[in-house]
Amino acid sequence: MTAHSQIATRFKVGARVRIADRSALGHCRTPWYLRGRIGEIVEVHGAYHDPERLAYHKPGLPLQVLYKVRFLQSDLWPGYHGPATDHLEADIYEYWLEPTL
């Protein structure tokens, strides 16, 4: 991992992002139920070797920025009846994130 001050990030804490809605062949770290959903960046973890490449015995380079993204439960699950503040947090790599309009 590299230090936060040394990595170029595409998104900042507080940014609203959409998870790319694309299929993935083979190993994938992004849950299907988050694809196409909008969440908010709540933390930048740093840069790490790409696990989707490591899974196939590649070096996992270039390093990929990993974010913690928060989603409201009511945005993920139709008919969710829990408290409006209930949320789910997931660690998502930058190449799965798209800016919202």
| Mean pLDDT (whole number) for 33-56 | 94
Give the predicted TM-score (pTM) of the model.
0.89
Residue 2 has pLDDT above 80, yes or no: no
Query: Which residue range is the domain that position 92 belongs to?
Result: 4-99
Number of folded domains that form the chain: 1
Which CATH number goes with the domain that contains 31?
2.30.30.50
* Cα gap 90→76, rounded to integer Å: 12
* Cα gap 45→86, rounded to integer Å: 22
Closest CA to 66 of 88, 38, 94: 94
What per-residue confidence (pLDDT) applies to 23? 85
